Structure 1
């Protein structure tokens, strides 16, 4: 996903707005494949703050995730904020400036004066990862799968005994205070 900064970088205080839609490739996060069910839509404000260019806005997309209870795939509507600081490498002259910048390199994106577009694909992916739910659920009241027979309780019921007491704790069943 590329953002046009050509006009904004020419003058301090310059601003522009970009609406970008792009099909993004799936990627892996913690051994799980993150699939996009729709294009990624980015609504971004680009501002030249003299020493840096700020890119701020929202990204929206649909993801295909696996429910953590029933293990079925479902479509998840993701909306996330994106904030990115971009600095011009051509303006760093002294070695002390370069060393100071190197310490912050993870949080800052760099570009050279000749570039008119910034590739923010990696930052969009990071924003998607940060905004993934910890336990994705297909619906809030998902019943999950039966631990005995493995049936999806959302689609069919089973007659399995669900209340198994650990034999080591069975004596506590009869305990009365």
Structure 2
């Protein structure tokens, strides 16, 4: 959703508060799609700070379904965004503004703003629990539900020749 801030920019000291629902069904990152489990609403207060600058204050709470990095079970990860920043809308700034990808001329793209804030807060590693055992590399069974019986001794094929030497050494 876009919020038109043309009138706000042209009126000194004007402040407006917007409550905006999140329109996205999925969050996309590097080709992966993560469904929103709770979308929430963005509450955004925009103030004219003078000299073609606007001050953004707001908050949003929501959650995404992200697969566990070990067993692939979906984990609901909450996100809490507190926003407090000033955005320069002057033409000179437009060339340098890679950080403000959610600002487009005289409007603010709230979906892009949420997207940007989730990216900053996206977890490096997601686990369903600290002691998650993951899945068996051979049969694919979730090892959190019990052992599968597969031989999980992994051998690096580059070390096969050395392993034969050690086997011969043990036999002596």
Q: Given the two structures, how large is their TM-score scaled by the length of structure 2?
A: 0.71
* Residues 1:163 and 1:22: Cα distance change in structure 2 (over 3 Å): same
Query: Mapping of 1:1-177 within 5 angstroms?
Result: 1-3=1-3, 9=9, 10-12=11-13, 14-51=14-51, 52-83=53-84, 85-87=86-88, 98=91, 100-108=92-100, 109-112=103-106, 118-166=108-156, 167-168=160-161, 170=163
Question: What are the superposed Cα offsets for residues 44-79 of structure 1, whole Å, 9 maximum, x if unpaired?
Answer: 343321121111333221111111111222221122
5+ residue gaps, structure 1, are: 93-97
* Residues 1:164 and 1:39: Cα distance change in structure 2 (over 3 Å): closer
Q: Helix, strand or coil for the counterpart of 2:75?
A: strand
Q: Is the 8 Å Cα contact of residues 23 and 111 (structure 2) preserved in structure 1?
A: no
How much is the aligned-residue C-alpha RMSD, in angstroms? Answer: 3.2
Q: Given the two structures, how large is their TM-score scaled by the length of structure 1?
A: 0.70
What number of residue pairs does the alignment pair up? 161
Q: Distance in 2 between matches of 1:58 and 1:41?
A: 9
5+ residue gaps, structure 2, are: none
Tell me how far 1:8 sits from its aligned partner.
Answer: 5.3
